Structure 1
Amino acid sequence: MNPLELIDIFKNHVRSSFYDARNAHDCIFDEDCPVEIALAYLNKAISEHCSCDSLYYAQYDSLGRDEYEDFSHQFEVFANEFLTNVRTNHSHQWTDIEFQKLKEIYDNSVFSS
């Protein structure tokens, strides 16, 4: 596989993880969406994100860049905040704040294009 194909595959995985995180975020704020569905979207996002991390570190020489590491860190913050608030039955105010930070990082990265 050539490096450009690898980069495209990686970008697609990052996009998928973000879109699933966005679906989880949107669902948790939709009173018509059961929390189980929001958690399913988050689980899918986390699984996709694990694939991203695996590919990233396995091919670090080709894929290594600070913007992915910023995205990955913020993704983890968002996911942990989401799960903590579901577990403790707290408001998702901070879930939203952490998602907005994730969205900003994503929107200003090469992954969004």
Structure 2
Amino acid sequence: MAEYTTILDGLEVAMRLGIHPHEAAPQRVRLSVWMTVDYPTPPNADRIDEVLDYDFLRDGIRAMADGPGFALQETLVEAVAALCLADARVREVRVRSMKLDVYPDAAVGCEVVRGRRLIVSRRSSG
């Protein structure tokens, strides 16, 4: 088994995110995603079909930004985590969102780590 971390860092999108009236308009949000990806063997042919192509992630986040929006950052990071975990090779994902313009002196954000449950089968001896 070969384990890699695939990273999409600092993707800025304009999206509707928040509960306050002034957040009805799209605002700047920065997203970073770290995916722990398992491959049967290390890639050796230097071809994209051997590994996770991160275009799906960027495209998926951009589609979310173009959608109806989210009330909570927690909901946004869960949606991005679910997108990543839809690929069976992704064992764990960390997603961070940052609203960049809420305060003049600080960004505010949310981060979640999600992974697959490992199902261990037990044989009963009888």
Q: Shorter-chain TM-score: what band?
A: 0.3 to 0.5
TM-score calculated relative to the size of structure 2: 0.31
> Normalising to structure 1: TM-score of the pair?
0.33
Instruction: Give 1 or 2: higher helix fraction.
Output: 1
More strand by share: 2
Larger radius of gyration: 2
